[in-house]
């Protein structure tokens, strides 16, 4: 992919959706019909793919992707494998199968897991360092299997004899591997075995420092990675409207809910989560942490906790700043996800240099891309044309 172009992903909210954070007020049911609407919107609007989250708070990502892939034409599905929770041979067979059934539209998100309490509920009683050792061993086996090799492997945590995948994936060597992690152990795994390194949305200077470390370690292994970033977006036609929408998003959020969420985040041994929490320190008072970057989502949401907030030109400019660091995969979301998928696609995507595979298809239906026919017989001019 050219360095001058980017891929824009959207998000399937299988953990819930609504108009406000931290409350049932304005919440909506996230059932199959709703997820179908979001996936079809993302497909039709020209998003490159969708991220499906993983964990006990979410519907199972593999089943969701399997249910939605047949309904879409070009949309890719970024689905998690879980080292330590899945044997690598099973994960490889699942990946090969879904890659075939989707016509080569599967992407893999390697998730080690950073919540010790949730891990214990899944039967994982390993330290942070041990989990990344499992991830390294898992990927050794998994990647060889998807290359068509028969594998014998004995590690500290994983052992297989005569493992193989009989029915190969569509994509050569298997679906590309995405992975995020800010600890030294995570960066080492990325440098050795991952295709695309993901970071959460920190200020540009912090992201630059992190990516410099990843690049250096990858280069020491003789490898070059691509890079992605996970952000929320709150875009409106004016900056004032965008910041008002950000304020509304947490309008029903009380201090007790914030404190309860921060207590849960503090028990995690995820370096990335600690970096997210440090951006706002659990306080509403300092949520604007960089130009057009807002940390309000992270008051109650684990993982990605920052949003780009502004008018279309401002949001596009901030995306260009991250792109200048070498980031070419942007994994975005907004509340509610159906409406915001349309809003971002209509207001910001025309301002971005989309990869050819991401670009919106030509419209040949009655109304075209220009709006409602005027007076019954005349199409309006495209406002984006000079």
CATH class assigned to 7-351? alpha beta
Confidence (pLDDT) at 385 = 45
Where do we find the tokens 């593999």? 62
Q: Which residues contact 21 (CB under 8 A, 6 or more apart)?
A: 249, 250, 252, 253, 296, 297, 299, 300, 301, 335
Backbone phi and psi for residue 316, each to the nearest 5 degrees, phi listed first:
-65, -40
Confidence (pLDDT) at 202 = 92
Global pTM value = 0.91
Q: Taking a C-beta distance cutoff of 8 angstroms, is the pair 48, 328 a contact?
A: no
* Region 122-146 average pLDDT: 94
Q: Which residues contact 94 (CB under 8 A, 6 or more apart)?
A: 62, 81, 86
* CA separation, residue 276 to residues 32, 219, 224, 298, 307 (Å): 31, 27, 26, 7, 12
Q: What is the CB neighbour count within 10 angstroms for residue 314?
A: 18
Confidence (pLDDT) at 138 = 97
pLDDT band at 368 (very low <50, low <70, confident <90, very high): low
Give the tokens for residue 261: 């969420």
Q: What is the CB neighbour count within 10 angstroms for residue 17?
A: 22
* Model confidence pLDDT, tens digit, residues 78-121: 999 999 999 999 999 999 999 999 999 999 999 998 788 888 89
């Amino acid at each position: 992919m050219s360095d001058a172009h980017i891929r824009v992903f959207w998000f399937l909210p299988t953990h819930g959706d609504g108009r406000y954070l931290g409350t049932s007020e304005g919440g909506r049911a996230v059932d199959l019909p709703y997820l179908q609407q979001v996936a079809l919107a993302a497909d039709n609007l020209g998003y490159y793919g969708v991220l499906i989250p993983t964990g006990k708070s979410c519907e199972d990502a593999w089943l969701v992707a399997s249910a939605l892939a047949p309904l879409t034409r070009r949309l890719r599905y970024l689905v998690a494998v879980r080292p330590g929770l899945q044997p690598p041979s099973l994960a490889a067979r699942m990946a090969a199968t879904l890659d075939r059934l989707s016509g080569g539209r599967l992407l893999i998100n390697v998730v080690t897991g950073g919540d010790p309490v949730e891990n214990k509920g899944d039967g994982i009683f390993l330290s942070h360092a041990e989990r990344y050792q499992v991830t390294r061993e898992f990927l050794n086996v998994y990647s060889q299997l998807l290359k068509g090799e028969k594998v014998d492997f004995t590690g500290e945590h994983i052992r297989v004899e005569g493992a193989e995948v009989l029915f190969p994936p569509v994509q050569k060597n298997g679906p590309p591997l995405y992975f995020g992690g800010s600890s030294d152990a995570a960066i080492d795994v990325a440098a050795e075995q991952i295709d695309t390194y993901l970071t959460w949305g920190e200020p540009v200077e912090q992201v630059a420092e992190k990516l410099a470390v990843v690049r250096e370690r990858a280069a020491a292994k003789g490898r070059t990675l691509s890079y992605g970033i996970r952000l929320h977006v709150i875009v409106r036609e004016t900056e004032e409207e965008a910041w008002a929408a950000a304020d509304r998003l947490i309008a029903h959020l009380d201090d007790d809910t914030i404190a309860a969420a921060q207590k849960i985040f503090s028990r995690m041994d995820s370096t990335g989560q600690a970096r997210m929490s440090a951006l706002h320190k659990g306080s509403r008072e300092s949520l604007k942490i960089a130009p057009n970057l807002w940390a309000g989502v992270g008051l109650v949401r684990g993982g990605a906790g920052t949003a780009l907030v502004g008018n279309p030109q401002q949001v596009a400019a901030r995306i260009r700043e991250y792109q200048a660091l070498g980031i070419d995969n942007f994994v975005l979301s907004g509340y509610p996800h159906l409406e915001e998928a349309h809003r971002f696609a209509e207001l910001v995507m025309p301002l971005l240099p989309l990869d050819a595979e991401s670009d919106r298809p030509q419209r040949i239906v009655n109304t075209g891309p220009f709006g409602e026919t005027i007076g019954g017989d005349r199409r309006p001019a495209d406002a984006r044309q000079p």
